[in-house]
Amino acid sequence: MRKIILNALKITFFLGIGVFFIWLFMHNLTAEEKKDIYSSFTGANYWWVLLSIFIMLLSHMSRTIRWKILIEPLGYKPSTKNLFLALLIGYFANLALPRLGEVSRCGIVSKYEKIPFQKMIGTVVTERAIDLLSLFIAFVLAFFLHLDKVAKFKELGIYQKASERLDKIENPGIYNWSLIILFIGLLFLLYKSRHKISHFKWYQKINTIVLGFLEGLKSLFKIKKLFWFIFHSIFIWVAYLFMVWVVFFSLPETSLLGLDVGVAVLVFGSIGIIVIQGGIGIYPWIVAQILLLFHISGTKGYAMGWILWTGQTVMIILSGLASMVLLPLLNNKKDDKA
């Protein structure tokens, strides 16, 4: 019961933050501006959104194949079909709670493919580490593509409060190094006292996850299809970029924006989705702020943000629900044949 209440509070919390960002953008708008957002959203050419959804599915299939390449060195050959459906269910679960998707898809594959759960967690954590590295590379690319826009970025207020707080710190370098040293110190203390705390359940859980992660990390050094692993790692993010860019064509005002703008929207939009579960409320706001840098009005940019978010979210919900139905049906047929 306690866990249910805690999960309900988490969902309410993230929804509350999302509603706050919607209010933050909308509360100062005139009735005419709100009408402009609504007419842009309803009048968009949704054939481009359908193309974006198709590209999104391709990226998910590519991610499935990359995941399979990570699993195979562990001595298992899971079904691509099961991995793909588990991945889609994972994305759907992530809309509800942080990390629920990762745990869900590992649990599904563990159940249907008889692979130890800890080893599956290891491959997913490794995969996420690669994604973070890819996001960092995309961030650096966006930074250098738009050096001329960096000075204007602060004026939009996306990080105004954060930068104001940082300005109050007399020596941010010492502050940052203090945090790093504190973190390393805590890790060292945990390591030194590991025998004394090994009987605690929380320690056992962390230890199991860490061992599983290390097992998954080992799979990186045992990959037999390294070329295809790198290929799919690149393809996933190229697909993400085109998934955003093609939607620009759905509105006349954004149809002339190039791939470089798509990189900026992809990077900062991804950060928004990481910060707030599913990106609700914050994703359209970030897109609007970014597009202001490229002379797209706030109302058109906000409408574009909602078009992008709605297309992605509807696809995640529908594909997730369909996968939940298909997964047991397809595996029951396989069991019957056996």
Q: What is the mean pLDDT of residues 152-158?
A: 53
Annotated domain spans of the chain = 37-337
In tens, the pLDDT along 290-329 reads 998 888 988 899 999 999 999 999 999 999 999 999 998 8
DSSP state of 44: S
Nearest residue to 263 (alpha-carbon basis) of 248, 288, 242:
242
Q: What is the distance of C-alpha 172 from the center of its chain?
A: 29
Q: What is the mean pLDDT of residues 53-57?
A: 95
Are 88 and 320 in contact by the 8 Å Cβ rule? The answer is yes
Are 38 and 221 in contact by the 8 Å Cβ rule? The answer is no
In sign, the C-alpha dihedral spanning 304, 21, 141, 242 is: negative
Its pTM stands at: 0.77
Percent of the chain with pLDDT over 70: 72
Tell me the average pLDDT of the chain. 80
In tens, the pLDDT along 191-234 reads 667 676 666 666 666 676 666 556 656 666 778 888 899 999 99
What confidence score (pLDDT) does residue 162 get? 45
What confidence score (pLDDT) does residue 10 get? 63
DSSP state of 182: H
Q: Please list, in sequence order, all residues whose beta carbon lies within 8 angstroms of the beta carbon of residue 205, skipping any fewer than 6 positions away.
A: none
